[in-house]
Every structure is written in structure tokens, then in C-alpha cells.
Structure 1
Amino acid sequence: MIAGTPGVLLVLDGWGHAEPGEANAIAAAATPWLDHLLETCPTVLADASGTAVGLLPGTVGNSEIGHMVIGAGRPVPYDSVLVQEEISSGRLGSNEALTPVLARLAATGRSLHLIGLCSDGMIHADVHHLQELLRVAARFSVPAVHIHAVTDGRDVANGTAAAFLGLVESYAAEAGLGGVATVVGRGYALDKSGDLRLTEQAALAVMYGKGEAVTEVQEALELNQRGDEWMPPSVVTDAAGRPVGVVEEGDAVLFTNFRSDRIQQLADHLHEHLAPRGVTFLSLAQYDTRASIPPLVHRSDAGGGLAARLAAHGVRSVRIAEAEKFEHVTYYLNGRDPSPVPVEEHVKISGEAAPDYKVRPEMNIDKVAEAVNAAARRDDVPLVVANLANIDVVGHTGHYEATRQATEHTDRAVESICRAARAAGRWVLLVGDHGNAEKMLIAADGGTPRPYGGHTTHPVPAVLVPADGQEVRRPAGPATLADIAPSVLSLLGIDPAPRMTGRPLW
């Protein structure tokens, strides 16, 4: 079936590398197996951020771009880069999807509604994009712009919402147009678990002004006791107690996240309820929504990578992950192609899990490991691909102790998988997709450290655990995530795809 040796590609989500220190939950964890592998196996640190993976210089990596580049075998210009190019070039002011809508709003006296995450985490959105959107709307004399702000607390440190909302208000003042109409935490507005009750609460604030009534944004911040991620829906009202910015017939909605996955549930919900009322919908970048929402910027092609190469050679693979990262080992690893692939099997792991991952940092990692081990024992599956989500998902809570425990659970799962792979005559290639848990503190105002649950620009380890008797060379030179797919193919005895710019490391 293959000329090389079967194997396991194991993505340790959020597994970044940094020197030990008080902020490094990975280094603080008891990880005898990972320590052993790093000391004894061919290892290299791979760049997983910035231009190496298709992001703007100095931008932290993320799971979406990480898995896309791992699968593509080349840097893929990310949606945030394409949006920034549209802004920097001045093309946004003449964008063929945006300008007719703004002209209609100006002619009819209707309003523009901007909905998205307000932070500079650069994972799902960049608050600075609002500045140009407001400027363009002002140039078209749009009568009113209502900003429906989603507070973060995951991609950036908790407690920073006030600063970002202040920045939004300064952009509105600079443009002479716009204001915050609603505020809600991303736990509601960007739910990815399928809990429509959370989405409904965020949507009701936008559509009907239902939520905690406040007269200004600062009042909403003062009332919130649950942190930025779980800011309850708040609605800004005028002196008479009326919501200042509900969506009306003939208005337009523009979603300002450049990443699709977490906003699409809200986007579909709002489109279903408001499009029949004559509301126009746009998105800053291309979304994977059920509804057809025209984007201002279309995405880059990420195809022609690992999945296409395996399919061309008839090589079967099994993709395994918990629900939080399942799309990453399927859709994103396959170049954002949702088409069924006959030589792929998909195993989504689900189970009892508390919404607060601080309570269960182990998540469902034992079930993931069991599924990987079962697939590794099969003779008809040359490649098993899996994601261990714990380090990243728990790391996003900003809770140091829970993240340390998540790392220890990951270590035990890796040991189980490596032992099963060795018994089955397989190699295991471990790689992080971006940094996270190696930096759990960040300096706040005055230099005081505060908990941090966001991603980092640190490199990630890439470790090859050879099969028994398998001879491999030591990797040389700098590496990036673009080298992972060529390495996997080389280990399987398959030449890299023509579009891959990465190189086999082993």
C-alpha cells in the first residue's frame, strides 16, 4: 500500500516552547514521557506564527492556520492578512460588495450594524479593522452605525474589555459616526458547542434590545461579575429607556470577525430571523455559514496538500479529535475543503464535559487515546491523525493549575499512544500547532502580571518517535509548520505534493 512505514500524526494543541518560569504551565507540569521524547528523539523547534504560516509579522499562531499549514505543506495567506491588505491598499473604500450597500443605506436613511469580537488577539478578529470601516461608512454618509461589541477574555487577557471598548468609542468619535449599541461576551455570541440558548441571548439583544439596560458602556462593565468572556448581554438605551441600535427593516449587518467558525452560529441565526425583513448581510471575510453571506474578502486556496496527496495514492487515514478540535483535523487540515474523501474516516469524540474546563482539565482525552490506539492497530490504515486539545482548551481559561493538570493528562495520553504505535510498528510525529500554555501570565498596567489565556509567538516542538528499527536522520536547520506534511508523506514513502514549499525534516 505504501513504500514507507505507517504512522501517527499527533497534534498537541497549544504546545509551545519557552524557557521554564513562573508563567510556564507546561514546564511546571510533571511530564516524564514528553521529557523523555524531547531528550532522546529527533526533535526540532518549528515556527508556528507570523509570516512563516501566512500571518502578519509578529502575529500569534492559532489552531485554524496551524492545521491548514500543517496540511497544506506551505504558508497560506490568512484571512486577517487579506483583510489588512484590503485596508492598507485603500481598496476597502471601493469594495464591490460593501460600497453599494453603504450607498443604499445613505439613500434610504437606514443604519449599518457592525457585529464582532472587539480585541486585538488576531485569532478571530482585530478591533483595529473597525477604524477603517467607520471611516468608509462616514465617507458614504451612512446615517447611523451601531456597533454590537463582543468582549473577549480568551484570545486576550481577561479584564481588558474596558480598554478595547474605549478604543472602539475613540474610533467612532474620530469618524464622527457610530456608537456601541450592545455588549455581550464571546461565551454567548461566539458559542461553538451548538448551544443555541447562548446564541439566542446574544441575538435578542441585537434584534430586539433585550438584555440588561444601561445608559453607557461603562455601566455594563461595572455590572459584569463573570469576566470578559461571559459578559451578560447589555443594551445601551437613550434617556427614554429605548434601545439605541436594534436592527430595523432595511438596515444592513456586517460581521467583522475574519475567522468564520465561532461567529457562524450567530450569523446564521440572525440571518434566518432578519433577512426576511429586508436586512442585508455582509461579512468581512468568507464564512462557512448555511446562509449565503457575501464577503468583502475571499479566502486563499489552501488545497493541494496532504489530504489530496493521500487521496491520489489511495492511502486511508483516520482523523480523531474531540468536538472542540474536530474541524481542525478534518476541514482545516484538508485545506478548508468540506467534500467527503472516500479514503478518510472521521471519529469525533464526545462525552460528559463541564463547560468550565477548569473543573475537568482531562476533558475526554482518554477516549481520544483509546480511539487512536484502536486505529493504530489496524493494518488497513497507514496514517492516523489526531488532536489532543487539552493544553490549548484549558490554557484558554487562564487558570494556571488547571492547565498544568491538562498538560499532565496529555503526557499520559501521549505515552499510551506511543506504546500502542510501537507495538503496531508505527512511527509517531508529535507537533504543536501554536503556543499557548507556556505563557500563562502577561503584564498589565503598572507591570503587574495578570492571568493570560491567549496564544503566543513561541515556536512549537516537532518530535519524531521512530518505529522499531526505523532509521531517521536528525533534522537540520530552521523549521516551520509547512514542513510537517512533507515529512509525513516522506515517512509514508510518498513524494511531497507539487504545491508544497516545505521540506521533509526526517
Structure 2
Amino acid sequence: MAKDVVTFLNWAAEPEHDERKKSGIKAVVLFSTLFAISVYVKRHKWSVIKNRKILINSVHDGWGIATTPGLKGNAIEAGTTTNMDTIAKNHSSRKLAAHGTAVGLSEGLMGNSEVGHLNIGAGRIVWQDIVRIDVSIKKKEFHKNKAILDSMKRAKEGTGRLHLLGLISDGGVHSHITHLFALLETAKEQGVPHTYVHFFGDGRDTAPRSSAKYCQDLLDFMKKEEYGELATIVGRYYAMDRDKRWERIKIAVDGLVGGVGDAVAAESTEDQGKAAVDAIKANYDKDITDEFLKPIIVNGDEGRIKDGDTLFFFNYRSDRMREIATVMGLPDKPMEVTVPKDLGITTMSRYNAEFPFPVAFPPQVMTNVLAEWLSKKDIKQAHVAETEKYAHVTFFFNGGVEKQFEKEERHMIPSPKVPTYDKDPKMSVKGVAEKVAELVRKSEHELIMCNFAPPDMVGHTGVYDAAVEAITHTDEAVGIVYEACQEKGYILLITADHGNAEQMLNQETGAPHTAHTTNPVPFIMTGDPKKFQFTEDKVGETGKESEGDGEEEGALCDVAPTILDLMGLDKPEAAVAPTFKQKSKETKYKKAFVRKNRVGAFRSIAPNQLPQAIFKSQERPSLDLPAFEPKFIKEENIGKAAHFEELQNDPIKHFGTPRSILLEYRLLSQRASIIRDVTVGTARLLDEAETRSSDKTRVVITGRPGSGKSTLLLQAVRYALAKNWIVIYVPRAKQTVNSTSAYAYDIRTQTYLQPLFAHQTLRRLLTVNKRILSELKMSSKLTLEKREIPASTTLADLAEIGVQDGLGTAAQGALAPVILDALMAELGKQKKIPVLLAIDEFQCLYTPQTLYRDPHFSRIRPYHLSVPRLFLEYASGKRSFGSGAVFGAINCDPQWKISVELREALQLGPDMWDLCANWTGEGEGVKSAISGPWEKKNKILQGYAQGLKNLELPKGFTLPEAVAAFEVWQKDGGILGNPTDELFLSKFTESGGNPRDFIWKGLLSTLEGIPPAAEEIRSTPWPHLREVTIS
């Protein structure tokens, strides 16, 4: 195009064209050229961006952030981390979740390197094989899996011998013992004559001396099923090598095939099992832990792998199964070894794209991962790691594919040849750092991905001093890379794939801790702090806002979108929106999404337009209101205002409140509450409930929008608390069903556990009721999977266990829901102290479908979620407190309408039309609350709704109640102008006495200086109004 323009300009300059023509032609051509270039740039923005040289994405493998600083065994705190400390101090940082459902694993399960790199590179949560397999077992699809059935059919029709090989533990990193149990059940169903289990000892993703327990668990299961035999035992160091140390694999194969190893002496199968466990323990006495167990031959020649046998490898993680599968199943052996002929091999997942073996759970196809997306944009990138982590920055980072994309370079630095890395803690981290620095100084790559291995690999050895040294070497490597980045203007992003080195000791036993952790990991962004900072909006795909120093503010899936955002590139559809963005000088605020107000001339005030500062500019005399106490809640005080005193165990502070009430309390100098006729009636109900089971008092507060339902529920909470009840207040029930937090299916309870909600509920319940809970003791002992809580334990201590450990290690991941359930059960057994369960947004528990989805993307029903189900059982009376009550309040949220089952149970008539329609009651979307025969009903929800009593509020204030509200706001500076009778009556009439309308649209509309922002005011419910600041 440029060549044509030059030719045309030369033609225009020829002598026969006069000056005017020449000038005009030149102007037209130049304008057209500039226009064409601008259009081209807009359409192909990425192709004209030069010298982006933006990013180093450095993954510090196993570098977690301890949630409790100062504990013994934290190698990161003990190491010399001068460079990391300086970088974190001078640049913007966040914490990321790297475990559980945040990375596609089962809830509470520790993350690992493969999963971490998959999520970092994919820019989305990648649901892992363990979750897919767990769900298939739960849905009975596992027992119908074609590859599994074909494997068992071959064994049955062939030699009659099936061998199950894999890592046996509940670590969940490479395999899970429940998957083995499902295979044994299936083999028994299919009638396979002989099934032999070959036990690979763990000791890295679990405690180093735990295989004896897992072996006993396996033996107990086989005894119960009367099926299966234990054949051999060998540690993962030999059977699961991945560094082409073929001499290790040979030791394992010789044991599996040739019976080379320590044979146990026993006559019966039961004796063999006992002898096998004893043999493992004998190795412990020699200081040989699970990982390093040499072959133990349990049932002699019978259990060896022989010609024509069928093998099923049940590890779902691929990297440490490739070598042994190669030796057992491929014709070309990498070393001298004897392997039986005509073996039929099936694998749980795909170990290698070139393997010919059938696969039970083929890989998920991922497209447009970060490396592929950059390749499509013609962006040059480099991936650097030492041997131990090379697969992670290539295969896993690239979405689980072997393919090397266009413009992608790969550099592998050899790892040292040592038995275990505590012998050489520095590994090759300096070599990796120097290679990265070299690439930075060449400035040829716009993204450099690297991995520093020592924190994880040395952390796995359990040798604390070596791990401290590994941290120091890693920090020195960071300094090398950081210096080069500063020199050449690269942004350095530092994160980790999971935790490890921050917990080298088991805090309970003092034994070495060799597994990964569930701790958060850092996410640090260097560059000029004035230009590059994370925003204050800290909500990631996990849907969870930070509540404290220990909370994660995003997840690993947020890394790739943040990289693309920094590079100015668009994101593929599959990627999540970036949690974190750089500061923008051009855009200071994101506008809240609001609806137009349809009320007409009766103007309302948006809460965000009414900051507390408006009142502070005026003289605000003390309201001097009486305290809200039981002795004040009497008929003679109806129409008077009281205030909620700020208590040490204040439920408003610790449980929270609905946003509409919170806004009023922010504006008033005292937390005022009007005593209404329904307030006195509610107090009477609670007095009667003191001496009877809670299933006798199950009340739902209903009424028109703005009629004061949430306020009455809060009055009930404060009344019960003043009478020394135990109070459980849930001000925002929709948070339990709107998919804002992690969850995972639990086969034992057949529900999706919600450990975060359970943990928060326990913490708040304990804080508010600690004095009373300290006086109550458990009626019986509580036996958990790995601990026993004695009957002498106080309920406060029981709750504390869930608060402290509920979000701890993988084994403890589901502890908070279990403790919450047990605590509620204990409260139900005692009658000494009444209990009030008060739930706002009550209708959300009865929604036909929640926003949570199972791995098949089907909506999960509320009674399949642990926390809503627990509340439903008490609301329905299926479970009850010895004395007390259950109160709920309907919230007028158009997203969470009242279900037909709840409408029928509460007998809402024609005058109580859909409470979630337009809140003025005018027109749109209103439908009868009476169900018709065409409306499909959920029988389970009907059962949960039976017996609920409807406490319907009046449509508005009575005249004395409105006068009390008027006087409170007038005295506190909320009304400008003369507080005349005419003003009061006009606002009371316009609002129809509706409490919310009377205050927000009536009284507060008199304030001066508040612009009539009708276009920016949304109608209720207020909780949906949110202004997001990104600068």
C-alpha cells in the first residue's frame, strides 16, 4: 500500500498538474493513507505492538505462605530471603489459593505441581481427574466405564488374573485409595476369578510412615468384600521414578514379575496380611520410610505378574507412571529386564499420547491456553526449568499437551544426579536463573516462563536444614532474575504452584512433614509501583473476598488473564476475567450497574449518595434512646424507639447485617429500632419457646418489600441474646447458594461440602456465644477419621477445633462442616440453654436450583449442599433444638423468588403476590403466589417446608410508629427544613407508611446537596448496588 501511495504522489507532482491540483491530490492521498493505517491498526492492534518485552512469570515451586507465622518448621521464614522480602516490600502483591476447588481438586485437597501449572497456564480452573473419577463413582458410572469393563472381561476370559497397580493412600495427588476400592468392587461384580493388588507406598504426599495404616485399610476392605489379594509392596521411589533412573524401575519390576524381594512367611491369607503390615513396620524400625520400601513379596509365586495377565494402572496422574508402563507394555525396553508376554494393560488416565493402552478417563481437551494464545498472536516466548520441573513448564503449562507451539523456545537445565535432593539443596536453581537473565538481556522474548524447583523438591525430603538452605539458594536466584528485569525493563511476576517448604514439621507429632500444604501462595508484580499495582478489587474466580491476612484474594487461574491484561491483549473466551489489573490513569471508577427508578416524582435517595460525612457537618445531639432490652419490649412502648447497644459479643458486628439495615446504622449516631406491635408479638413467641422444642416454633416473617422483615428478625436476635440464648444469625443466606465459595462432593454424607461457610459460621457462632458454650459439654465422644474428641470437651472447645483446623491440611479439609453439624446436634440434645436459629433471605434455601454446578455442569439443589441442608433440617423440624426457635425472613430479591413449595406452606394468598416483583408493587412480573396444577413441585422441598408458620407484617408503619421514626431521623440531622406536621403527613401519605419508603424516599429526600440522580438510582434490594473502585 505504501508503494502505491508513493507512485501516486510522484504522478501528482508532474509539471502538467497545476499547484492547486497537486496540493489537493496530496492532501486527499495523505488523509486516505492515514485513515487506512488507523483502521488497520485498530483491526490488528496486536500485530503492530513492538518491543513488548513485558513479563517473566516465575513459579517458585512449593513456596507457600504460612497462615500462622512463627511456627517451628517454617523453612521459608528460617531461610535468608533478602531479595524476596525487598521485592514484596517495594511492589504490589496478593495471595492466591492453590488447593482444593480453586484449582479443580476436591475440596480441602492440597495442590500439586502439575495441577498448579495447568491452572496457571490455562487461565481457568481445570477440573482434575480425581474430581471426575469421584463423581463417576458416586453416580455409579465408574462401574460401567467401557475401558474398565473391557479390562476385566479380558482378565475373566483369559488367564483369570487381574492385577491392580498404583499408589495407595488418600493423598489425592497421584491416586486415591477409594478408586482402588471401586475397582475391586467392579472386579467382584464382573466375576474376575483372581484380582491381585500391587501396593506402591507413598510417604511424600502423606506422612512418611503411613503405609502401614493404608495397607491395613486395604486388607480390611478386602476382608469385608471377601475379594482380592495383596500381592506385593514397593515404595514409589522405585515404582514411580520419572527421571529415567531405570535401575530404580528395574528393582520394582523384578519384584512384581520375578518375586525378587523380602518374602513374608505366612500360611493363610489373613496371616499374610498381618505379616505384610508387620514387614512395613519392620522397615520403619530400620528408618526406611514408605517411599523407599524395597519389594515385599506377600503371597509368593501366586501374585506375580505372568504371561497373558491383565494389568490396570490406577494412578490418574501421568508423569510418574510413564516409565513403569513403558517397561511393562512397550516392546522396546530401556534396560535389561524380564517382562511377561502378552500383557493386557489399561490405565486410569492417559499417561502418554503415544501409548497404545486403553484409557478409562481420557484427557479433557483444552484450547487457547496462554502459550497457545501468545503463539497465535505471533509473540515469542521461552520456557525454562531444570530436569525435575521441565515437564511442568512445558507439558502441563501448555495445557497437558506435548506440542511445542510456534514462537515457543524451551530450555532444560540438568538436575544434579543425587539420590535425594537434601544431598544437594541448591539443585540447579542458579543455572535456571542465569539462563533466564541471559534471555532477558537479549530482549528477544516477550514472555519468559521459569520454575525454581528447590523449595518443593527439597521440601519433600523432610530434611529441615536442607530445606532452609534450598530457600536461601532460591532467593539468590530471584535476585539474579530481578536485577536483569530491572536493567531491561521487564515486569517480573512471582507466584508459586502450591505450598510445601513453609511447613516441614507436623505440628502435632513433631515428625517431618513431606507433603504439600493447603496454604496460599504469593503473587507479586514488579515494575514501577506508580504504574503497576494490583487493584483494590480482590475478588477472583473463587468468588471470595478477602476477610483477613490469611485469606486468598484470587486463585492460580487468575495469573494468565492478568498477564494478558498487562500485555494489552484480548483474552480467549475460556479464560476467566483477570482478578488483578494494573492501575489505570485514564479510568478511576467503574460505574455500578443500576436500574432506572420508576416511582415517578417521588424521588428516592441511593445509599451511595448519602455518605456519613453529610451528617458530620452538622451538630448532632445525642439521641439518648433507651436500650433494646426485654424489659422495654412491652405494649406500652409500642411506637417508641430503642437502640441496640454495642456489645462485646455483638451479633451485628460478628454475624453481619443485611445491607439495608447496615446503611441506616452507618448514618445514625445510635442504632435505633422502632418498637412495633409485631415486635412485642415476636417477643412473646420467643418467651413461649424457652421451654419447648424448636420444632414447635418455626416462623417465617413475610410482608411487602420494605415492610421491615429484616429489622424484625434482627430484633428477635437481640431479644434472644439479651435473654442469654445461644444465637445463630445468618443475615445473608443467599451466599450459601449463589456459588461464591469452594465446594466438593463428599461420598460419606452425599452432599457437597462447603468448608468456608461452615468455618465462618463456626467462628462467628463461637465469638458471639463463647461464654455460654464454655459452660456446656458434649454428651458423647465424637469420632473423626483421624482423631477422637472426648465427651468431656466443652462446646466452645469443639467449635474451636473446627475454627482452627477446618481449613487446614488436606485431611482436615472437610472438618469444619463435620464440626458444625456435630455442634448443632449437641445443642439439640441439651435443654438448659434455648437456641435461636435466625435466617434472613430465607427463601434462598428453598430455591429449586442453586447457582452451584456439579462437574457435569448441572445445577445443584440446595439440599445437596451441606450448609443449606443443615439449615433446612432445622427449619423443617427434622432436627431440632431441645428448647428454642427457628425464625426466617423473606427477602425481596428478584433473583431468588419464593418457590411454589414455600408459597404453599406459608399459604400466601392473592394479596401477597410475588414478593420479588417490582418492589413498588406496580406491574412488571407480578404473578399469583397461589400455585396451579401445572406448576411442578419438588417433593423434597415440600417436606422441608411443612409446618412453617407465616408471620405476615403489616404493609406499613402505624401512625405512632412513623412518628417515632420521624423524630429519630429529625433529631439526628436526617431531615432538612422545618419538621412540620405538614412535612410528616406528606411523607407518610406518599409512602403509604412503608418503612423503607418513608425513610429513604421520604425523609432523606429533604437533604440539600443531594442531586436527583434518578438515572443512577436502582430500586431495592440494596445489596446488589456496588461501586467498584479500581484505582
TM-score tier after normalising by the smaller chain length: over 0.9
How much does 1:101 deviate? 2.8
> Which residue in 2 is equivalent to 1:14?
62
How much does 1:116 deviate? 0.4
> Which residue in 1 is equivalent to 2:369?
305
Judged with a 3 Å threshold, the aligned counterparts in structure 2 of structure 1 residues 77 and 57 are, in CA distance, closer, same or farther, namely same
> Which residue in 2 is equivalent to 1:257?
315
Measured in 1, the distance between the counterparts of 2:55 and 2:499 equals 24
Deviates more, 1:29-38 or 1:57-66: 29-38
Alignment equivalent of 2:526, drawn from 465, 471, 474: 465
1:484 aligns with 2:532: no
* Secondary structure of the corresponding residue to residue 572 of structure 2: coil
Deviation by residue 1:127-168 (Cα, 9 ceiling, x = unmatched): 121111111111112111111111011111111110111111
1:390 aligns with 2:454: yes
Deviates more, 1:466-475 or 1:76-85: 466-475
Alignment equivalent of 2:227, drawn from 164, 177, 187: 177
Structure 1 segment 137-216 matched on structure 2, within 5 A: 137-215=187-265, 216=275
Measured in 1, the distance between the counterparts of 2:281 and 2:101 equals 39
Residue identity in the other structure for 1:11: V
* Secondary structure of the corresponding residue to residue 346 of structure 1: strand
Measured in 2, the distance between the counterparts of 1:504 and 1:316 equals 25
> Which residue in 2 is equivalent to 1:99?
149
Measured in 2, the distance between the counterparts of 1:439 and 1:252 equals 41
Deviation by residue 1:289-339 (Cα, 9 ceiling, x = unmatched): 643111111222233110111001111111100100001111111101211
Measured in 2, the distance between the counterparts of 1:402 and 1:418 equals 24
Deviates more, 1:21-30 or 1:8-17: 21-30
| Contact 1:422/1:467 (8 A) holds in 2 | no
Alignment equivalent of 1:450, drawn from 500, 511, 520: 511
Measured in 2, the distance between the counterparts of 1:27 and 1:475 equals 27
Alignment equivalent of 1:68, drawn from 106, 118, 125: 118
How much does 1:476 deviate? 3.1
Measured in 2, the distance between the counterparts of 1:352 and 1:100 equals 43
How much does 1:398 deviate? 1.1
Structure 1 segment 89-488 matched on structure 2, within 5 A: 89-108=139-158, 110-215=160-265, 216-224=275-283, 225=286, 226-237=288-299, 242-272=300-330, 277-288=341-352, 290-442=354-506, 447-466=508-527, 470-474=531-535, 476-477=537-538, 478-488=553-563
How much does 1:172 deviate? 1.3
Measured in 2, the distance between the counterparts of 1:312 and 1:183 equals 48
| Contact 2:159/2:308 (8 A) holds in 1 | no
Residue identity in the other structure for 1:280: G
Measured in 2, the distance between the counterparts of 1:118 and 1:361 equals 28
Residue identity in the other structure for 1:221: I
Q: Comparing both structures, which one devotes a greater share of its residues to strand?
A: 1
Measured in 2, the distance between the counterparts of 1:320 and 1:314 equals 19
| Contact 2:60/2:453 (8 A) holds in 1 | yes
> Which residue in 1 is equivalent to 2:903?
none
Measured in 2, the distance between the counterparts of 1:474 and 1:408 equals 31
Identity %: 33
Judged with a 3 Å threshold, the aligned counterparts in structure 2 of structure 1 residues 365 and 500 are, in CA distance, closer, same or farther, namely same
Measured in 1, the distance between the counterparts of 2:463 and 2:358 equals 39
Residue identity in the other structure for 2:342: G
| Contact 1:258/1:284 (8 A) holds in 2 | yes
> Which residue in 2 is equivalent to 1:500?
575
| Contact 2:93/2:534 (8 A) holds in 1 | no
How much does 1:187 deviate? 0.5
How much does 1:487 deviate? 1.1
> Which residue in 1 is equivalent to 2:846?
none
| Contact 2:92/2:529 (8 A) holds in 1 | no
Residue identity in the other structure for 1:272: L
Residue identity in the other structure for 2:179: H
* Secondary structure of the corresponding residue to residue 302 of structure 2: coil
Measured in 1, the distance between the counterparts of 2:530 and 2:417 equals 40
Measured in 2, the distance between the counterparts of 1:107 and 1:389 equals 47
Residue identity in the other structure for 1:233: P
Deviation by residue 1:466-500 (Cα, 9 ceiling, x = unmatched): 15874444453121111100111222221222210
Measured in 1, the distance between the counterparts of 2:232 and 2:201 equals 11
Deviation by residue 1:263-307 (Cα, 9 ceiling, x = unmatched): 110011011369972221111122216431111112222331101
Deviates more, 1:485-494 or 1:269-278: 269-278
Unaligned runs of 5+ in 2: 1-47, 266-274, 332-337, 539-552, 582-1031
Unaligned runs of 5+ in 1: none
Measured in 1, the distance between the counterparts of 2:537 and 2:480 equals 29
Measured in 1, the distance between the counterparts of 2:93 and 2:575 equals 22
With the length of structure 2 as denominator, give the TM-score of the two structures.
0.47
Deviation by residue 1:37-64 (Cα, 9 ceiling, x = unmatched): 2222110001111111111111111110
Deviation by residue 1:226-283 (Cα, 9 ceiling, x = unmatched): 211111112123xxxx423111233210001110000110011011369972221111
Measured in 2, the distance between the counterparts of 1:291 and 1:309 equals 28
State the structure with more CA Rg.
2
Residue identity in the other structure for 1:232: K
Deviation by residue 1:70-105 (Cα, 9 ceiling, x = unmatched): 011000110111111121111111111111332343
Deviates more, 1:101-110 or 1:427-436: 101-110
| Contact 2:525/2:532 (8 A) holds in 1 | no
| Contact 2:416/2:424 (8 A) holds in 1 | no
Measured in 2, the distance between the counterparts of 1:108 and 1:429 equals 56
Judged with a 3 Å threshold, the aligned counterparts in structure 2 of structure 1 residues 80 and 504 are, in CA distance, closer, same or farther, namely same
* Secondary structure of the corresponding residue to residue 243 of structure 1: helix
Measured in 1, the distance between the counterparts of 2:90 and 2:455 equals 23
Measured in 2, the distance between the counterparts of 1:471 and 1:85 equals 42
How many pairs align? 499
With the length of structure 1 as denominator, give the TM-score of the two structures.
0.95
How much does 1:353 deviate? 3.8
* Secondary structure of the corresponding residue to residue 358 of structure 1: helix
> Which residue in 2 is equivalent to 1:54?
104
Judged with a 3 Å threshold, the aligned counterparts in structure 2 of structure 1 residues 250 and 169 are, in CA distance, closer, same or farther, namely same
Measured in 2, the distance between the counterparts of 1:137 and 1:235 equals 23
Judged with a 3 Å threshold, the aligned counterparts in structure 2 of structure 1 residues 391 and 502 are, in CA distance, closer, same or farther, namely farther
How much does 1:108 deviate? 4.2
Residue identity in the other structure for 1:261: D
Higher RCO by CA contacts (8 Å cutoff, separation 6 or greater): 1
* Secondary structure of the corresponding residue to residue 148 of structure 1: strand
Measured in 1, the distance between the counterparts of 2:529 and 2:518 equals 34
